[in-house]
Copies of this chain bind each other. A is one copy, B any other.
Amino acid sequence: MSMDADQLDRIFKALADPTRRGLVDRLATRPGQSLFELCAAAVADGQPAMSRQAVSQHLDMLEKAGLVQVTWVGRTKLHTLDLTPLRAAQAAWLGRHM
Contacts and interface: CB of A to CB of B under 8 A. Distances in A.
A19 to B, nearest CB: 10
A92 to B, nearest CB: 10
Nearest to A11: B16
Interface string A63-98: 000000000000000000101001100100110111
Chain A binding surface SS class? helix
A17 B9 contact: yes
Interface residues of A, number: 23
Contacts of A94: 86
A6 B25 CA distance: 17
Contacts of A18: 5, 8-9
